[in-house]
Chain A
Amino acid sequence: MSAFHPVHPLDPVPDLGGPRQPLLSVENLTKHFPLRGGFLGPKPVARAVDGISFSVAKGETLGVVGESGCGKSTTARLLMRLIEPDSGSVTFDGEAVGTRTGLSLRDLRRRMQMVFQDSYASLNPRLTIADSLAFAPMVHGVSRREATEVAGDLLGRVGLDPASFLRRYPHELSGGQRQRVNIARALALHPRLVILDEAVSALDKSVEAQVLNLLVELKNQFDLTYIFISHDLNVVHYIADRVLVMYLGKVAEVGPVEAIYGRPAHPYTRALFSARLSMDPDLRTMAVPLQGDPPNPINPPSGCRFRTRCPHAAPVCAAVEPALLDLGGGQAAACHLHDPQSGHPEAAHAA
């Protein structure tokens, strides 16, 4: 495909740091959204993402779970630089993102792409599928003819017949078909990392399964790394290698999927999992896993943010914010229960 160019615009981006270097590492990423009001005193802010750190290894799927307002979608938008973080650093395969000397936005978007929940809102209704798919390659210097060829090839890869879909408009497609187009578009520049923000949540169950199978196939074909954001714990269990649990802008727990699902350490993770619906009418849930709704990120509780709903809350939880504590085997949780030095009355026997 690239015989005439020394470096073709669509050649895959080469790996830099080797397999051991994380593809993405995030340090202390923070985003506070200013709110109206606050004439007297400090201006109120929504602490959407409040100092989170994590990394994504090459070739893995990191699942991100949490309830609404926990900051999962804001995190995705920060990583894509759709919004600018207030502070914190993001490093992509060893290269800094968003600094003067680091990766440019254009370079970043070649390496990282995103698929959104609303398949219709994310496509331009006035562009045919062919134009939508060819858009990014053309921006990166590919001729229209070649870009259209690429578009056809991509449609085939996501299971849509190019002959019948290239000239259609988004409104002529079903939700599942449109989401396939969005996935194809995300792959047009051969990215290394794809962020899937509730990408299958709006689909009917039978279609959701089709798209999940497709995502697994494409990951192998294109050697991709995924960040898979979802509120659906069953889907995350199915697709993720590691899981990040967020609560009110903070990381509550992170670890390999077997550890998080098998031995959840943070009381919030446990509560979230016990709120999963039973699929068996003979095994119904009898007790409410948690009282109340998630609190507001505008005025989060002091100390541990989960303490207002936590069955283990103690005075220390209000006073000291728990740090993410390594529990071994790649699992870490931000809870005083696991730190014998924390002064939490239940800490000793839990640890």
Chain B
Amino acid sequence: MPPESIPAAATDAAPAAAAPLLSVSGLTVSFDTPRGRASAINGVDFTLKRGELLCLLGESGSGKSVTLRALMRLLPERRSRVAGSVLLNGEDVYRLPERRMERLRGKAISMVFQEPMLALDPVYTIGQQIAETIVRHEGTSAAEAERRALELLEKVQIPSAKRRLHAYPHEMSGGMRQRAMIALALSCNPSLLLADEPTTALDATVQMQILLLLRQLQAELDMAVILVTHDIGVAAETADRVAVMYAGRFVELGSARQVLKDPRHPYTAGLLASTVQGDMRGRPLDTIPGAPPDLTALPPGCAYAPRCPYGDGSTLTASPPEVWLEPGRMARCVRAKAMAGATAVAD
């Protein structure tokens, strides 16, 4: 169906010298809830290079959005417990004083949310909101900030950008608002953009426009992006690398092609097989039985074991170790090597 195609970026044969932009290790997050301690993130480790697009793929409750918020230190401090380290450009985000953190947010690292109507301020124009961010972070004059705001609206391809500068969020359509949100996030040239389901609330034709825009901006600005999605299609359209999350862990990590065409974790394989495609007409869909686990009562072993078709009923006492199949290619399953050639979604 697509007119042409570009291959996903090749596997990370990292240039030895380049230090990663972001390096996350041993990240755990838990929340105090009325029903007990919910373990949302249970040990996430990864690194991200400059200019790389990583998709966190998972179902609701898998911890993908919490991971994003943890990276930006946006989780409510009273109710959440965060451990581990998040190094951005070598600085540990969780050791910075709050004042430094405020300067980092919106400048080095910024975020695009699912629902721009809730993320934008309804009583300021788009232009004012972008200009305010620029003045605050860079101390430029108001006139200079407004000129930059106009440039940004043009960069995100908002038609008649000059007029839209003075528009309020409610005066724009959903697609325009999401473009404005992206312009706001880009206002101080962040080196890391976090996008939480940025196209889920949009119509199909608009979703594709925004995904193409994100891909283009990411390449143009050499910006690292972490994109959270539940939609395999979004990952296939955008990701250099894909991390599949389940019960607060990366269960699989690799290039988009590796993960989506040669899944090595039974959950990834199940997710791919149960995603509906037209050519499955007339036959029952493969499903993953059961439901994701309760985060307040995770099993001690593999969290996916109760639903796993390969599970043999033997109880693991700890989460299965990460199995590294090659550099940058991991599956957290004792069967990772044996899974080669299992279900693949693409032709």
Shortest CB distance B290–A (Å): 9
Contacts of B212 in A (CB 8 A): 285-286, 288
Choose from B206, B237, B239, B284 the contact partner of A216 (Cβ within 8 Å).
Answer: B284
Would you list which residues of chain B between 135 and 164 have a CB under 8 Å from chain A? 159
Binary interface profile of A, 50-79, with partner B (CB < 8 Å = 1, else 0)?
A: 000000000000000001100000000000
Task: Choose, from B105-113, B117-125, B180-188, B273-281, the stretch at the interface.
Answer: B273-281
Contacts of B206 in A (CB 8 A): 67, 293
List chain A positions with a Cβ less than 8 A from chain B: 67-68, 174-177, 204-210, 212-213, 216, 231-235, 237-238, 257, 261, 271-294
Known: A238-B276, A294-B205. 9 other contacts (CB 8 A): A205-B275, A206-B274, A206-B288, A231-B204, A232-B276, A237-B278, A276-B1, A277-B231, A288-B208
The answer to whether B204 touches A233, judged by C-beta atoms less than 8 angstroms apart, is yes
Shortest CB distance A228–B (Å): 12
Choose from A68, A176, A261, A284 the contact partner of B203 (Cβ within 8 Å).
Answer: A68
Choose from B1, B3, B233 the contact partner of A273 (Cβ within 8 Å).
Answer: B1
The answer to whether B287 touches A284, judged by C-beta atoms less than 8 angstroms apart, is no
Shortest CB distance A254–B (Å): 18
List the B residue with the shortest CB-CB distance to A241.
B281
The answer to whether A279 touches B175, judged by C-beta atoms less than 8 angstroms apart, is no
The answer to whether A67 touches B203, judged by C-beta atoms less than 8 angstroms apart, is yes
Choose from B175, B271, B347 the contact partner of A206 (Cβ within 8 Å).
Answer: B271
Distance A47 CA – B160 CA, assembled complex (angstroms): 27
Shortest CB distance B132–A (Å): 26
Shortest CB distance A320–B (Å): 25
The answer to whether A289 touches B256, judged by C-beta atoms less than 8 angstroms apart, is no
What are 19 A-B interface contacts by the 8 Å CB criterion? A206-B270, A206-B274, A212-B285, A213-B287, A234-B276, A238-B276, A238-B277, A277-B231, A278-B1, A281-B261, A282-B7, A283-B1, A284-B8, A284-B237, A285-B211, A285-B212, A288-B212, A290-B205, A293-B203
Count of chain B residues with a beta carbon within 8 Å of a chain A beta carbon:
57
Distance A277 CA – B206 CA, assembled complex (angstroms): 12
Contacts of B285 in A (CB 8 A): 209, 212-213, 238
Distance A290 CA – B234 CA, assembled complex (angstroms): 18
Shortest CB distance A204–B (Å): 4
The answer to whether B257 touches A281, judged by C-beta atoms less than 8 angstroms apart, is yes
The answer to whether B276 touches A281, judged by C-beta atoms less than 8 angstroms apart, is no
Shortest CB distance A131–B (Å): 24
Contacts of B205 in A (CB 8 A): 67, 271-272, 275, 289-290, 294
The answer to whether A210 touches B174, judged by C-beta atoms less than 8 angstroms apart, is no
The answer to whether B232 touches A279, judged by C-beta atoms less than 8 angstroms apart, is yes
The answer to whether A234 touches B209, judged by C-beta atoms less than 8 angstroms apart, is no
Binary interface profile of B, 239-257, with partner A (CB < 8 Å = 1, else 0)?
A: 1000000000000000111
Contacts of B232 in A (CB 8 A): 205, 279
Distance A240 CA – B239 CA, assembled complex (angstroms): 31
Contacts of B326 in A (CB 8 A): none
List the B residue with the shortest CB-CB distance to A257.
B281
Distance A285 CA – B281 CA, assembled complex (angstroms): 24
Binary interface profile of B, 201-220, with partner A (CB < 8 Å = 1, else 0)?
A: 00111111101100000000
Distance A31 CA – B18 CA, assembled complex (angstroms): 61
- Asked whether A238 and B281 contact (CB < 8 A) given A204-B59, A277-B233, A279-B346, the answer is yes
Choose from B5, B234, B236, B274 the contact partner of A205 (Cβ within 8 Å).
Answer: B274
List the B residue with the shortest CB-CB distance to A235.
B276
Shortest CB distance B240–A (Å): 9
The reply to whether the CB of B291 lies closer than 8 angstroms to some CB of chain A is yes
The answer to whether B204 touches A67, judged by C-beta atoms less than 8 angstroms apart, is yes
List the A residue with the shortest CB-CB distance to B60.
A204
The answer to whether B173 touches A293, judged by C-beta atoms less than 8 angstroms apart, is yes
The answer to whether A281 touches B236, judged by C-beta atoms less than 8 angstroms apart, is yes
The reply to whether the CB of B230 lies closer than 8 angstroms to some CB of chain A is yes
List the A residue with the shortest CB-CB distance to B175.
A293
List the A residue with the shortest CB-CB distance to B176.
A293
The answer to whether B203 touches A231, judged by C-beta atoms less than 8 angstroms apart, is yes
Distance A272 CA – B278 CA, assembled complex (angstroms): 15
Distance A262 CA – B336 CA, assembled complex (angstroms): 38
- Asked whether A204 and B230 contact (CB < 8 A) given A212-B285, A292-B175, A293-B173, the answer is yes
Distance A206 CA – B274 CA, assembled complex (angstroms): 6
The answer to whether A176 touches B2, judged by C-beta atoms less than 8 angstroms apart, is no
The reply to whether the CB of B74 lies closer than 8 angstroms to some CB of chain A is no
Contacts of B211 in A (CB 8 A): 277, 285
Distance A283 CA – B6 CA, assembled complex (angstroms): 7
